[in-house]
Amino acid sequence: MRRKFELLMKDLWRALELPTKQDYPLTIAAWGARHFSHELVADPLKVRQVLDFIRALRISGVTGRRTAEEALMESLIDLASQCGGELGSTNCPRPSGFDRTTDATAEQQPMLRVLQELHDFALACFQFKRPRDSFGGTRRGLAFEILGEVGGVVDLPQVVDMARKALKKSKSIESRHAANFLHAYFSRRDGALDDAITAELLSLAEAADSRSTAFSALNALVETGTICEFEALDRMDEWKSKHY
pLDDT of residue 68: 96
- Smallest CA-to-CA distance from 86 within 68, 111, 69 is with 111
pLDDT of residue 1: 39
- Smallest CA-to-CA distance from 101 within 89, 90, 91, 113 is with 113
Average pLDDT in the chain: 94
Largest CA distance in the chain: 55
pLDDT of residue 2: 52
Calpha distance 163→134 (Å, rounded): 21
Would the pLDDT of 192 be above 80?
no
Indicate yes or no: pTM above 0.85.
yes
Burial class (CB in 10 A: 0-12, 13-18, 19+), 49: middle
* String of DSSP letters for 48-86: HHHHHHHHHHHTS--TTHHHHHHHHHHHHHHHHHHHHHH
Q: What is the pLDDT of residues 85-121, one digit of tens each?
A: 999 999 999 999 999 888 899 999 999 999 999 999 9
Q: What is the pLDDT of residues 64-95, one digit of tens each?
A: 999 999 999 999 999 999 999 999 999 999 99
Say what percent of the chain tops pLDDT 90.
89
3-state helix, strand, coil in the chain (%, to 5): 70, 0, 30
Would the pLDDT of 212 be above 50?
yes
Q: What is the pLDDT of residues 34-64, one digit of tens each?
A: 999 999 999 999 999 999 999 999 999 999 9
- At position 53, the amino acid (one-letter code) is F
